[in-house]
Amino acid sequence: MNNQFELPGSYKKWTWGLIVAGVLALLYGFIMLHPFSAPAHGHGGEHSGSTRFWAVLLQNSVYWLLVVNASMFFICVTTMAMGGWQVALRRVPEAISSVVPVLGIITFIVLMAIIWGGRTDIYHWLDKEAVANDKILNGKSGFLNPTFYTIWSAIAIVLWWLLGRKMRSLSLESDKNGPMDYETGKKWIYKNTVWASLYTVFFGLTVASTIPWLWVMSIDAHWYSTMFSWYTFASTFVSGMALVALFIIYLKNQNQLEYVTEEHLHDVGKFMFAFSVFWTYLWFSQYMLIWYSNQPEETKYFVERIGTAERSGPYKGIFFFNLIVNFLCPLLILMKRNAKRNWTLITFMAILIIFGHWIDMYQMVMPGTLGAHAEMMPFEFGIGALFIGVIMWGVGQYLTRHSLLARNHPFLKESMIHHT
Amino acid sequence: MPFANSPKLKNMAGGIKKFIVGSFDDEKVLFPAVKNVRRAGYKIHDVYTPFPVHGLDHAMGLRETSLHTAGFIYAITGTTTALTFMSWVFTKDWPLNIGGKPHFALPAWIPITFELTVLFSAVGMVLTFCYLCQLSPFVKKHHFHPRATDDLFVMAIECTEKTNESEVKQFLEKSGAQEINVQVAETGWWIGRYDREQKLYREEKGY
């Protein structure tokens, strides 16, 4: 395939449409929600506008950053596992992961505004007086303090970007020369494996452990769960695979990716199915460990969401809606082999999964910040649209600049004759 | 079928048929051969391979298996069994106060429900698979070539009244078969020793 892929007009129209809608929502937020007014004490009330602004930005920036970052994790683990099947579609997750620096900068600005703007309504542990008089928060202050938060967030985002860029440049370099001979190919694969391992180890230290604790779990500063980071990882990884599926199907509809067939779609569908079940396993385990071990102080997280037997909480609907959209639907719809090989059904399920986990992140952020005053209005959807628009823009840039086929990858043949 | 009603063969499950058997030593030769044989209109009884060959089922035109549908049914049977049994035990039959938890303690039952779902579906599918393949201890089936379990790909073509033997043999030879022979074999299973099949043939006239 020598013809460089060009973005059709409708893609550009949608990209800029979503970005404009998002910027309008952002402007609405700046004007109507007074984001720089002092945080109201306690949970919101009439003055919760500024809290809402930062909570929504936090939810969206963290969610979408982790979703695009999941693409690079997918590339790295398949590289380490010597997986050949993904080579035909490899440029798609590469393109998605190229958005990490853009969303990383946005996320970093949002986090810094929250931390150094003293948003105690988002992170209770920013309140120095409260921490001094609070035994639990005092004990956590070595981890939950603005300096460590800033440094570790910066290191995390920069290393995701740099290690990911190294993986992408290795892949792009291989396009320049002709097919590799055995020795060159072996060295190249080894080099890929080393960088993929470095990325994966760092991914484990950040996404699969510290970063969700810092960015999301510390909203409920008194509460902790060892399941939380894995839960966040599962949530964003399954959405990341859904995003990869969407772009594959889109490019396939544009007559690109000629070697990607139903067989590859089937494997991507398997990832969507399996990690939906994995997410549910963590969703349930997090609840059950607390329920079973009789720790009343740990029930706070769930009381804020589903409430108690006497009084149901404001997020009860969303909490169980989550289970239907993110577990029951993928389980029952994607279970059959034919469903995973059906382009239309995978498109539908991918959108459903991305939306479902966006809602999941919503119910992770909102109860501890806005309490009963959270809303689901055009502003919330508008900010979501802004991030989708930015992702579409970034992915479009990568797809139009580079060949859509890693044509000299030593495993390309394996991918072309892939049979599921 | 000359001995379809033969009293001595009544305890054999299938029937006796005549086959032309071609053995191939390479997967790459086997695939085009299977396609050619099917295109020529010959009836493939089965292809025996030393290991699972990807895509051979499609080449042979076999329908998709329904084994996974059976698996799903076994799984939901397991789910229902676990949930109904536990709720009966803990709410009706023998309610116990465990750590002040409600009698209907659904979260505590989920792991067991999951295990029983997996157990039912796994055991059920293994047994169904054995039934479909007619596999069981002491049950014997005809072997077309002993090396089918080692390094040969063995294709058995069923002869009908219209089949011209020498034509099929020539066809197989052209397709790259290493060994070609004609076998008369029991298509079903029997209980007993392998040589029972041969003894039964010898007692019949005509073969």
Beta-carbon separation of A294 and B68 below 8 A: no
Separation CA A73–CA A384 (nearest Å): 23
Number of Cβ within a 10 Å radius of residue B18: 16
pLDDT at residue A47 is higher than 70: no
How far is it, in rounded angstroms, from Cα B157 to Cα B171? Answer: 11
B157 found inside a domain: yes
Is there a contact between B107 and A287 if contact means CB atoms under 8 Å apart? yes
- A337 and B64: CB-CB below 8 Å? yes
Whether residue A235 is contained in a domain is answered as yes
Q: Chain B: nearest CA to A299, how far in angstroms?
A: 14
Give burial (CB, 10 Å; 0-12/13-18/19+) of B128. Answer: middle
Q: Are residues A419 and B55 in contact, defined by beta-carbon separation less than 8 angstroms? A: yes
The percent of residues above 70 in pLDDT, for chain A, comes to 97
The reply to whether A381 falls in a domain is: yes
Do the Cβ atoms of A79 and A170 come closer than 8 Å? no
pLDDT of residue A2: 53
In a domain, A166, yes or no: yes
pTM passes above 0.80: yes
| A415 in Cβ contact with A85 (< 8 Å) | yes
What is the mean predicted confidence (pLDDT) over A275-293? Answer: 93
Q: Which ranges constitute the DSSP H helices of A370-411?
A: 378-401
Residue A307 is given by DSSP the state: B
- Structural domain for A38, as ranges: 9-416
Give how far A286 is from chain B: nearest CA, Å: 11
Residue B99: phi and psi, rounded to 5, are: 60, 25
What parts of chain B have a pLDDT lower than 50?
Answer: 1-11, 205-207
In the numeric block, which tokens belong to residue A414? 């394996």
Looking at residue A46, its pLDDT comes to 54
Residue A83 domain flag: yes
**What pLDDT score does A224 carry?**
85
Instruction: Look at residue B7 in the predicted model and tell me its pLDDT.
Output: 43
Residue A277, CA distances (Å) to A133, A191, A240, A329, B5 in order = 42, 33, 15, 11, 55
Among B54, B72, B99, beta carbon nearest to A419: B54
CATH label of the domain that carries residue B19: 3.30.70
pLDDT band, residue A42 (cuts 50/70/90): low
| CA contacts within 13 A on the Cβ side of A158 | 6
Residues of A in contact with B76 (CB under 8 A): none
Residues of chain B found within 8 Å of residue A337, distances taken between Cβ atoms: 64, 68
| For helices A49-80 and A228-253, angle between their N-to-C axes, nearest 10 degrees | 70
Task: Say what the pLDDT of residue B186 is.
Answer: 82
Note the pLDDT of residue A99: 97
Tell me which residue of A202, A156, A192 sits closest to A62, measured CA to CA. Answer: A156
Residue A196 lies inside a defined structural domain of this protein: yes
| Residue A1 placed within a domain | no
Q: Which residues pair with B21 in a beta bridge?
A: B156, B181
Residues of A in contact with B111 (CB under 8 A): 288
Q: Which letter does DSSP use for residue A142 in this model? A: T
Please check whether residue A137 is in contact with residue A125, taking contact to mean a CB–CB distance below 8 angstroms. Answer: yes
- pLDDT tens-digit series, residues A385-397: 999 999 999 999 9
Query: Do the chains contact at A419 and B72, CB–CB below 8 Å?
Result: no
Angle B172-B174-B179 from CA coordinates, rounded to 5°: 50
Task: Report whether pLDDT(A419) > 90.
Answer: no
- Please state at what angle helix A146-176 crosses helix A100-116, rounded to 10 degrees: 170
What pLDDT was estimated at residue A376? 86
Q: Do A337 and B110 touch (CB under 8 A)?
A: no
Closest partner residue to A284 among B54, B72, B110, by Cβ? B110
Whether B174 is in a domain gets the answer: yes
The number of domains in chain B is 1
Who has greater pLDDT, A272 or A1? A272
A12: left (phi over 0), alpha (psi -120 to 50) or beta: alpha
**Out of A6-20, A188-202, B10-24, B80-94, least confident range:** B10-24
Q: Which helix (H) or strand (E) holds B189?
A: strand B189-191
Mean pLDDT of A166-187: 93
> In sequence order, what are the beta bridge partners of B141?
B189
What does the pLDDT read at residue B188? 82
Q: How many domains does chain A have?
A: 1
Q: What is the mean pLDDT of residues A336-348?
A: 94
**Residue A173, both tokens:** 């370099």
Q: Does A293 lie at the interface with B, CB-CB under 8 angstroms? A: no
Provide the angle, in degrees to the nearest 10, between the axes of the packed helices B106-133 and A262-292: 140
Q: B31 is in which domain, residue-wise?
A: 7-63+144-187
Does A3 map to a domain?
no
Contacts of B64 in chain A (CB under 8 A): 337
Segment A325-336, tens digit of pLDDT: 999 999 999 999
The string of pLDDT tens digits covering residues B20-62 is 999 999 989 999 999 999 998 898 999 999 999 988 998 999 9
* Beta bridge partners of residue B151, listed in sequence order: none
Identify which of A288, A294, A419 has the shortest CB distance to residue B99: A294
pLDDT(A399) > 50: yes
Q: Identity (one letter) of the amino acid at A36?
A: F
| Set of chain A residues whose Cβ sits within 8 Å of the Cβ of B100 | 294
Give dist(CA A398, CA A403) in Å, integer: 9
